[in-house]
Amino acid sequence: MYRIRTAALCALIALSGDVLAGTASSPFTVTGTVVANCTISTTGINFTYDPVALNAAADALNSGTVTIACTKGSAPSIGLDPGLNPGAASKGGRAMRLGATANYLGYDIYMS
């Protein structure tokens, strides 16, 4: 009886190699969705303002860069508000303040 079981087990093991060696393929559909998205990066602007300098009354012209990258088909709308200190300076639509002082530097932003 033991020999018959062993022989049957060996036969099953020998046949299972052919069963496991087969391959199959089946077509399937893959879909994806690209979500509209944008990234914005900027460079800093150094105003180099010095009210004691000889040309303190002259405009200080400096520049920075705003880079916008969006996925194809996006429709970005970008705007600027008046900032934290609107109207605080005698010149310029926006104003920066030096710390907690009452000293403001007025400035405007232009696109070129």
pTM: 0.48
pLDDT digits 0-9 by tens, 66-109: 899 999 988 888 888 888 888 888 777 888 887 888 888 888 88
Q: Which residue matches tokens 């104003």?
A: 95
Among candidate residues 88, 107, 2, 93, the one with its CA nearest the CA of residue 48? 107
Cβ-Cβ contacts under 8 Å for 47 (sequence gap 6 or more) = 60, 62, 96, 105, 107
Q: Which residue matches tokens 């052919």?
A: 18
Is 7:24 a contact under the CB 8 Å cutoff?
A: no
Is 84:69 a contact under the CB 8 Å cutoff?
A: no
pLDDT digits 0-9 by tens, 44-64: 877 666 666 665 666 777 788
